[in-house]
Amino acid sequence: MARFSRRRLTRNPARGAATKAIIAAKAPVSPTSPQPDAAARVASTLPSTRRLRRGPVANVLVMAVSAGIVGTLAIPAYAFAPGSTGPQFAQTDVTKLTKAQAQSVEVTDDVIAAPVTADGYDTVTGAELQAAAEAEAARVAAEQAMTSYAASYSGPSVGDFLANPPYPNFDLASVYSVATQYTGVPYVYGGATPAGFDCSGFVMYVYAQFGVSMPHSSAGQGAMGTRISEADAQPGDLVIMPGHDGFYAGNGMILHAPYEGASVRVQPIWTSDYYIVRIGI
């Protein structure tokens, strides 16, 4: 009689129970026989928990494997949170510098500090604005006066006198005498005829009749002559002031075309800021 291996003859309770469950499930059931409920059938086919119970070592292994599986499944949720790779989660330059070690910057000797400047401005008062408006009005009026002046005069000009001087013999008394003939001529800015004079235009027009050519400028006329003392001054000499001139009339007086709205006249010299110039010496 053949001998079987102990290993092959050893029963496996779990396998046997599973086989019985399969056979029972396939066996026909009589309609009249009592039907056990589903829970009872399943319970009858499963091995007893007492049989499946393992030792302490097996339980520890099962728990370790279960914990590993749970941890592995949870890693993506923490490591790859949605949006964590966006630029708003990146380190800023300030954070990087804060975490960096101490740094130093070398500055060469030829580096200079940038100059600091402050803008400045001048305020304009109401009086200054008013004065500017009045000056502009005066300029417009002078232009209009010059237009009417040029249209109203048809006599000889400075150029005509220089080309053919009516008084070829030059002396200061004659100069002053001719100048007094134009007393009452209105002041016109830029004027140089009996239709209207300004200060230097008046002097230029009178001296042109003696064949003396002068610039239409008080400073230029003063530079043509020689300075003399007031004690030596005679009528016909020139009184030169800053921006103005006229004929010396004797006794501290001046014959001149004063300003817009006035006429050629004689009056006292009103300032000490002047000097006397004689033409022709």
248 secondary structure, DSSP code: E
Q: Can you tell me which residue has the tokens 């016109």?
A: 188
The per-residue pLDDT for range 128-153, each reduced to its tens digit, is 899 999 989 888 876 776 677 667 78
| 233 C-beta neighbours (distance < 10 Å), count | 20
Report the run of H or E that residue 254 belongs to, with start and end: strand 253-256
The per-residue pLDDT for range 33-62, each reduced to its tens digit, is 455 554 455 445 544 444 445 566 566 565
Report the run of H or E that residue 240 belongs to, with start and end: strand 238-241
Contacts 24+ apart (CB under 8 A), 51-60: 51/13, 51/14, 52/14
The whole-number pLDDT of residue 28 equals 53
Contacts 24+ apart (CB under 8 A), 167-171: 167/209, 167/210, 167/211, 168/210, 168/211, 170/210, 170/211, 170/212, 170/280, 171/236
The whole-number pLDDT of residue 236 equals 96
Judge whether residue 261 has pLDDT over 60: yes
